[in-house]
Amino acid sequence: MPPSHGRSYKRAHVACKACNSRKVRCTITLSGPPCANCAVDNIPCEMKTRKRRRNTDILPAISDPGTQENPMSLEQTPPATRLCTSQSESPHWDTSGLAKDCEPSRWGQMTDAVRLSPDHSQQAHNASSATSSRDTIVVGHNTDESDIGVAFDAEADVPRQNDHQDEVETPPIANATSAWAETLEEHESDGNRVPFYPGDRRGPAFVIDICKPQRSTDSNHSFVAMPSLESLQPEEIEYLRWKGCFSLPPHPLQEALIKAYFHHAHSFEPVLDPQDFFCAYSKGQLSLLLLWSVFMCAATFVEDSLFFVNLFESPLTFKRHAFQRAKTLYDADYEKNKVTLIQSVFLMGHFYADAEDRLGPWHWNGIAISLSHTIGIHMLTSPARNGIRPLWRRIWWCIYYREVWLSMGQGRPMRISLDHCSTPMPGLYDTSPSCSPEYQHYAPEELGILFGIWLKLIEVTRIMGRILSLNYTIKGARPSRAIIERDENEIRANWIHDGNNDQSPVLASHVYQYRLHTQAAIIALYRPFLHEAPDGVPDDEQDGWKEFANSKLRTAAAHATHAINCMMAEDLIKFSQTIAVLTISPPIQIHLLEMASSKSLSNKLAKHNLALCLLALDEMRKSYVSADAAYKLFDRARIMVEKSLGEDAVVSRDLVAAANSSREAQGIETSEWLDDSMPVGHEFASVGLFSALWMPFANLIPDESLESSF
């Protein structure tokens, strides 16, 4: 076709016979057969191979030469795409020969092959002629379960000349700026539309109220036309391959990681739909970004021996590799599906990079919050409109859960205010549908019971968020005694009683960690009142209230330590979640405070309980860098407290001797030197020592040893 207006166009490297004969743009390199034109015209779509290879920068592909359904099989692809690569070719992941005996699996056998998530494939199919002339990835539709064909090609920027333009309407392709205008029209969810939230009536969404005053719902959630698919450049694909993003671990390790995730991580933070995940996983259509994020979270719960067999030094080494690959895919804007992207960055928040938290949990949870606002999962209504799934509610409350406990553990203000959210609390109706029989071995038998524990955990988290908002504000008024009693009663109303002795390790670990959360919430509730009484307490009762608060703190810390002791006795510390590092910190702080007590028995008991907690933290250091940082902080604090107590004892003896000498010489009484601001039984010299210990990670000093470990 001669160029128009003096503009020259590049010819596509690959096109089907029908599009080639009609000289129109073919999307077979995006969606595979049939292309968009053949699908619209309802005619057979046959591949036309080019005679001369023009693109020298082609990714190797793995394809089955015997599969006739794959249009990009070895008989049809250019010679350069016949190259096969093993995992040993990856410069960062040398696991060649480890998965040769694995049973066939799309994901297990696929190493350097590039996969597209369902969102990529769907967008590519819908893009048709509106996609710009950029190099794209193609996944062949191979029916063999052991291989997936991959081709790398370029699409020409040729204007489409369709003979049936006036008869057939193509799927809507949105301009990047048209989403706001489309919210004025009600569209339900379908394969061609994506969720979009224009905000509330403070912003442009007020126009919706003007244009549609009689609309049936107050929800501003919309589904707008899918934006154009921006394909990755060849050098970007090559960079992802060089970084090892397409080189998955051997199949046995993958299976162990998936099973570990759904046994130990999913039931604490159910941000995935198990059935959807397993279906996509078995078909090889799962997002790579999400898969690497799942692998990273699950590495903590897999036996070390399995990593050693696969040439990894430790689970921490694998975890760092998985995080680097997930982050590389995220930086490349690989994932287009907003929900999948939110799930992925939420899971990436389980990686603790360094004390500055530039790439740590606080950073990634903030991204998850921001992305959630763009599709409005914080403003869901009940009942939900068509296209909005219960999974969205679970995702939002998981994000809120991490935000609350990260805020408590790191001493930072929360970035979520429930006053500006309408998403209802999750209930039993939000549970995931049961898995198909072929996938049930991935999930624990007690999945229903574990989901019930999660519902209680979210309720305790909601109360905890309210405590942080009321009790720890800088300018707000102190809560009253009635509010404190209400919060404690609501926490205890969600208490889980002791189960039977034959419960599984998975269930037992969840129960113990849940108790850590409840006791940490009670400690957070009463901790501000060690030095001041609640609002409305008379002056003559304030000392009694401080002693009452101190008693509540000691009891909660003792109960938390008991749960930790049970976990160690039953060898369950290895199943601790990342948040467990934060929930174990409040009881440690109380034990440190009790070490300063002048009562000998209380001092000895505090030292014993502190030793148990530090022992648990020391065990967690094998899995989490955050545990290593917390252990160093509290161990150094213990040394400082003991040193301070030793110095205080010497000073006290000198003061007593001097006072006795003065009394004998002058007949005057010694004066009290205890500080009334501290709880009864605590030395004055410890005042101010714990002010920097309430928030263990607020001003953490980076340690050089952390740079070499995760």
- Containing 223, the helix (H) or strand (E) segment is strand 222-225
Angle at 636 between CA 633 and CA 641, to 5 degrees: 120
The chain-wide mean pLDDT, for the chain, equals 73
What's the farthest any 2 CA atoms get from each other in the chain? 118
| 425 within 8 A of 364, measured Cβ to Cβ | no
Mean pLDDT of 585-611: 89
What does the pLDDT average to over 469-473?
91
pLDDT at 29 over 60: yes
Helix, strand or coil, per DSSP, at residue 303? coil
* Interhelix angle 288-298/338-348, nearest 10 degrees: 30
Beta bridge partners of 174: 227
**How many degrees, rounded to 5, is the angle at CA 79 between CA 77 and CA 80?**
100
Which residues does 390 contact at the CB level (< 8 Å), separation at least 6? 384, 426, 429, 430, 431
Tell the residue number behind the tokens 């005619």, with chain if given. Answer: 43
Confidence of residue 161 (pLDDT cuts 50, 70, 90): very low
Percentage of the chain beyond pLDDT 70 is 60
Among the listed residues 319, 388, 394, the one whose alpha carbon sits nearest the alpha carbon of residue 350: 319
Q: Which residue has the tokens 């056998």?
A: 109
Write down the pLDDT at residue 550: 92
Highest average pLDDT, of 94-103, 127-136, 455-464, 686-695, comes from: 455-464
Query: Across the strands, what pairs with 138?
Result: 151
The whole-angstrom distance between residue 499's C-alpha and the CA centroid of its chain comes to 30
Segment 382-436, tens digit of pLDDT: 655 555 678 889 999 999 999 999 999 999 999 999 998 888 898 877 776 567 7
Ranges 28-32, 55-59, 694-698: which has the least confidence: 55-59
Distance, in Å, from the CA atom of 559 to the CA atom of 516, rounded to the nearest integer, reads 8
Of 205, 196, 218, residue with least CA distance to 381: 218
Rg, the chain, Cα only: 31
Higher per-residue pLDDT: 433 or 529: 529
- Report d(CA 187, CA 199) in Å as an integer: 17
When pLDDT is cut at 50, 70 and 90, the band that residue 647 belongs to is low
The model's pTM is 0.69
Distances (CA, A) of 228 to 132, 166, 290: 8, 22, 22
User: What per-residue confidence (pLDDT) applies to 219?
Assistant: 62
Residues 539-560, mean pLDDT to the nearest whole number: 92
User: What is residue 499's predicted lDDT score, i.e. its pLDDT?
Assistant: 62
Indicate the pairing of strand 15-16 with strand 193-196: unpaired
Distances (CA, A) of 630 to 40, 636, 700: 61, 10, 9
The percentage of the chain sitting over the pLDDT mark of 90, rounded to a whole number, equals: 38
Side-chain half-sphere of 210: how many Cα atoms within 13 Å? Answer: 6
> For tokens 């049809």, what's the residue?
76
H-helix or E-strand containing 138? strand 136-139
Least confident of 55-69, 306-320, 394-408, 657-671: 55-69
Residue 676 amino acid letter: D
Tell me the one-letter amino acid at 208.
I
- Yes or no: say if 393 and 426 are a contact pair by the CB < 8 Å rule: yes
- Strands 47-48 and 193-196, by their bridges, are unpaired
Q: Closest by alpha carbon to 491, among 469, 516, 508, 473?
A: 516
Burial, 373: exposed, middle or buried (Cβ in 10 Å; 0-12, 13-18, 19+)? middle
What number is the average pLDDT over the span 542-567? 94
pLDDT band at residue 183 under the 50/70/90 scheme: low
